[in-house]
Amino acid sequence: MLTLLADFSHMFGPLNLFRYITFRAAGAAATALFFVFFFGPSIIAALRIKQGKGQPIRLDGPASHIITKTGTPTMGGLMILSGLIVATLLWANLKNPYVWVVLFVTALFGAIGFYDDYLKVTKQSHHGFPGKIRLGLEFLVAGVACYAFMLVGGDDMTRLAAPMLKGYFISLGSFFVLFGAFVIVAAGNCVNLTDGLDGLAIVPSMIAAGTFAIIAYLAGNSIFSNYLGINHVAGTGELTIVCSALIGAGLGFLWFNAPPAQIFMGDTGSLALGGLLGAVAVAAKQEFVLVIVGGLFVLEGASVIVQVASFKLTGKRVFRMAPIHHHFEQMGWKEPQIVVRFWIISFVLALIGLSTLKLR
């Protein structure tokens, strides 16, 4: 919306700044941060009143959680999403279709997560949205988004870039819709599984968002993309604004989510953030880089799959508890120790993911 001010730069020169993605990205991050800071306390107070007992705590989980986390309200993702969406609408170029498609995924994944949280809180149970219905809705939303990407980007959108191979692409054709939907849904659910300790999911999400803010900017710039040998996708530079808004909103949320957390993001936040990251990766044609940058989320999701498969096939568990962050808790690691170490891993993976852009 504020990009319209650039049209009046002939009257007041500094308004020309609103043409630049970098300036607007900083503005979006600051806006989202202050929005969450300002409205966060009132949102937390309202959720605490509405939810009463707060998010139900797993009885089979670490015993310390029952003592320290009982009564903490959930659905804090509403804080993140409200700051993110407001900042994006203010600072992004609203004529850009990629912005709207990513917001579409983010908002609807957030709505699915919100309903799941609502069922868990009202029933005081871990059984929320039936899994098959939830996955079906996620794939429907992601499929529609990927079809929209294909309409906007044309045949170039259906080409999959092979990692570390310059100029080599795999044409997916109409299969792109299914592949892209899988990436978005997998990202959403892996971030969702990571959200189990105070601050564990939000910081890696911000690190991944910062990484993809850079990637989206490079992919949207023909000079940089040609130099690096990556797919040039005209228009994806505007997704830098969305990713920056996520960083700002995430920082604001972390202020309240830092141990001991005053609020949990819940499925409302984690599912939406994962869906956003997946959608940006698909739009920028860097799906494989997402696997590296979001390697922590992949590890968390894989640990659950391995645990379930092993128990069903052999009756034995590979981990003491899944997702894997609970495994380390059961081994005696303290919560802050796990969280900070996982943050470090996320940062290292982000650096590795960025380095692959030039290793071609």
Per residue in 138-150, pLDDT (tens digit) is 999 999 999 999 9
- Residue 84's region, left for phi above 0, alpha for psi from -120 to 50, else beta, is alpha
* pLDDT at residue 67, as a whole number: 43
* pLDDT at residue 160, as a whole number: 84
Return all residues near 360 (Cβ < 8 A) that are at least 6 apart.
164, 165, 166, 228, 229, 230
- Alpha-carbon span 40 to 278, nearest angstrom: 26
Average pLDDT, the chain: 88
Q: Are 44 and 252 in contact (CB under 8 A)?
A: no
* Minimum mean pLDDT range among 6-10, 65-69, 87-91, 293-297: 65-69
Per residue in 53-66, pLDDT (tens digit) is 655 655 555 545 54
Question: Does the N-terminal peptide bond of residue 260 adopt cis geometry, omega within 30 degrees of 0?
Answer: yes
Residue type, 126: H
Residue 322 in domain = no
Residue 163 binned pLDDT confidence (cut-offs 50, 70, 90): low
Residue 334 CB coordination number (10 Å): 11
| Phi, psi dihedrals of residue 161, rounded to the nearest 5° | -80, 130
Is 147 in a helix, a strand, or coil?
A: helix
Per residue in 276-309, pLDDT (tens digit) is 999 999 999 999 999 999 999 999 999 999 999 9
Domain count for the chain: 1
Residue 312 in domain = no
Is the pLDDT confidence value at 51 over 90? no
Average of per-residue pLDDT across 100-125: 91
Please compute, for residue 255, the number of CA atoms within 13 A of its CA located in the half-sphere on the CB side.
18
b/e sequence 55-89, b meaning 16+ C-beta within 10 Å: bbbeeebbeebeebbeebbbbbbbbbbbbbbbbbb
Residue 313 binned pLDDT confidence (cut-offs 50, 70, 90): confident
* pLDDT at residue 15, as a whole number: 80
Per residue in 171-230, pLDDT (tens digit) is 888 899 999 999 999 999 999 999 988 889 999 999 999 999 999 999 999 998 888 888
Q: Are 88 and 28 in contact (CB under 8 A)?
A: yes
Q: What domain range includes position 212?
A: 22-287
Residue 84 in domain = yes
Average of per-residue pLDDT across 116-126: 80
Is the pLDDT confidence value at 257 over 50? yes
- Alpha-carbon span 204 to 96, nearest angstrom: 27
Residue 171 in domain = yes
Q: Is the entire prediction scored with pTM above 0.85?
A: yes
Residue 81 in domain = yes
Q: Tokens representing 287?
A: 């799906």
* pLDDT at residue 182, as a whole number: 97
Is the pLDDT confidence value at 71 over 80? no
Residue 60 in domain = yes
Q: Tell me the C-alpha to C-alpha distance, in Å, between residue 173 and each of 36, 192, 298.
A: 41, 30, 26
- Alpha-carbon span 276 to 90, nearest angstrom: 18
Residue 81 binned pLDDT confidence (cut-offs 50, 70, 90): very high
Q: Are 300 and 190 in contact (CB under 8 A)?
A: yes
Q: Find, among 167, 164, 282, the residue nearest to 215 by Cα.
A: 282
Residue type, 289: V
Residue 111 CB coordination number (10 Å): 16
Is the pLDDT confidence value at 127 over 80? no
